[in-house]
Amino acid sequence: MIEPEETIEAKLVYALRAAVPEIDVIGALAPCEQGDLKLAANSCISVFVDLASQDLDWIGPGVPCTYSARVVLKVDFSDDKTGALFRDSAHQVRGALAAFTGDGCAAMSGDGFACDEFIMDSTNTVLGAGDGSGAISKTYNATVKGRFFPHNTNQEDS
């Protein structure tokens, strides 16, 4: 069974790949093809989605929950001598995320997940030199609220 975090991540990855085609986008929960290694270039966009809270003390389908989404844009200095790639990519990431706000949150729904809210939270920019050449990264945080209605199938039913 697919989890709501996977659905949210997949929707974000899809939108970011379309918005920023020049940089690899990798989702933390998405597996790669059999025989491949899950790798990304030094400059990449990473997507992480986690359960933040269950918003009602209730057991059953459709319980409202809050999820935290984190998108990290990292651009290696060796790929961006002028800083334009980082700046332009940051604009494109923000635009892709902003498209999910308001009535756009319906585009986050699918695979049993019904999105009720997509709210942009804080950003954080960090200058780092972990591998010697250096990089700059910007983290975008968002809050996603919604309900999950799991499909009632399992392998024995198939």
| CATH code, domain carrying 27 | 3.30.70.1700
Domain count, the chain: 1
φ/ψ (deg, to 5) at 136:
-125, 140
Burial (0-12, 13-18, 19+ Cβ within 10 Å), 99: middle
| Nearest CA-CA partner of 44 in 23, 17, 18, 28 | 23
* Ranges 22-31, 46-55, 132-141, 144-153, most confident: 46-55
Across the chain, what does the average pLDDT equal?
90
Is pLDDT of 135 > 80?
Answer: yes
Residue 154 lies in a domain: no
Q: Which residue has the higher pLDDT, 154 or 93?
A: 93
pLDDT of res. 152 = 57
Q: Which residues pair with 46 in a beta bridge?
A: 26, 72
Q: Which residue has the higher pLDDT, 40 or 52?
A: 52
Is pLDDT of 63 > 70?
Answer: yes
Residue 117 lies in a domain: yes
Residue 156 lies in a domain: no
Residue pLDDT, tens place only, 79-129:
998 999 999 999 999 999 999 999 999 999 999 999 999 999 999 999 986
Name the residue range of residue 18's domain: 4-56+63-148
